[in-house]
Amino acid sequence: MEKNPSGPEIVESYRDFKPPRNFKRNIQMLLRYVPSEYLIGLKSIVLTNRAALTRDQRRQKVWTRKRQIRLIEASGSYRRETRSSPAVVWIYVDTLVEHQRWMIRAPFLQYVVPAEVLYHEIGHHIHAAHRPVHEGKENVAEEWSGKLGVRFVRLHYWYAWPVIRSIAILTKPFLKHWKAGRRK
């Protein structure tokens, strides 16, 4: 697949933190598989950590499914376009890899954790800028995350797609039960 020339700029802004090896490259790879029409209007993707946030940002709150949490506890966030600023996706790398560092190192699984967060936040952008749906914002973002994730696996791991699809079909009932428990 060709690199998406109209895609957002990836900016790294860390403070006293070293991201996992190849993290930015993995984000670039994940972006290559997002259709370019969905990235229009998304100026940048900022890879940062909690220590790099300003005091006001650390105190800011964002909505999750049913409650607000402090931005410092989130793995990612989306700031929609306004008259004075473009749309931006923020990924808080230290929060993201805090408990899943082993997955970032595994060759096949290295995309799982970043893809879930990146595609979820891009889902918010798609919902806000391109395909508004009158449903809960988190539900729509999660649905787009799933669609973009399946597209990535299907195109990037085309050679393993039949095996992956078979495993997904067999484990679907267990994953639904597990995800339902996570949302509570």
Question: Which sequence spans correspond to the domains of the chain?
Answer: 9-183
The answer to whether residue 8 scores a pLDDT higher than 60 is yes
pLDDT exceeds 60 at position 3: no
Residue with the larger pLDDT of the pair 16 and 61: 16
Measured distance between the N- and C-terminal CA atoms of the chain, rounded to whole angstroms: 39
52, 136 contact by CB (below 8 A): no
pLDDT of residue 97: 82
Helix (H) or strand (E) segment spanning residue 24: helix 23-32
Whether 183 has a pLDDT exceeding 70, the answer reads: no
Q: CATH for 9-183?
A: 3.40.390
- CB–CB of 38/53 below 8 Å? no
More confident position, 14 or 107: 14
Say if residue 91 is exposed, middle or buried (CB neighbours under 10 Å; 0-12, 13-18, 19+): buried
Least confident of 49-63, 92-106, 137-151, 159-173: 92-106
Q: Where are the alpha helices (DSSP H) in 33-79?
A: 36-39, 55-59
DSSP letter, residue 51: G
> Is residue 30 over pLDDT 90?
yes
Token pair belonging to 50: 């909690």
Q: What is the distance between the alpha carbons of residues 165 and 170, in angstroms, rounded to a whole number?
A: 9
184 pLDDT more than 60: no
Measured between alpha carbons, how far is 106 from 87 in angstroms, rounded to an integer?
Answer: 32
Phi, psi for 45 (deg, rounded to 5): -120, 120
Strand order in the sheet with 76-79: 9-13, 42-48, 87-92, 76-79
Res. 2: pLDDT tops 60:
no
Residue 157 above 90 pLDDT? no
Residues 6+ apart with CB under 8 A from 30: 111, 114, 115, 118, 119, 152
pLDDT band at residue 53, thresholds of 50, 70 and 90?
confident
Average pLDDT over residues 148-168: 87
Percent of the chain with pLDDT over 90: 43
Q: How do 42-48 and 87-92 pair as beta strands? A: parallel
Please check the confidence at residue 182 and state whether its pLDDT lies above 60. Answer: no
Please determine, for residue 172, whether its predicted confidence score (pLDDT) is greater than 60.
Answer: yes
How many Å apart are CA 55 and CA 15, to the nearest integer? 14
Tell me the three state secondary structure of residue 6.
Answer: coil
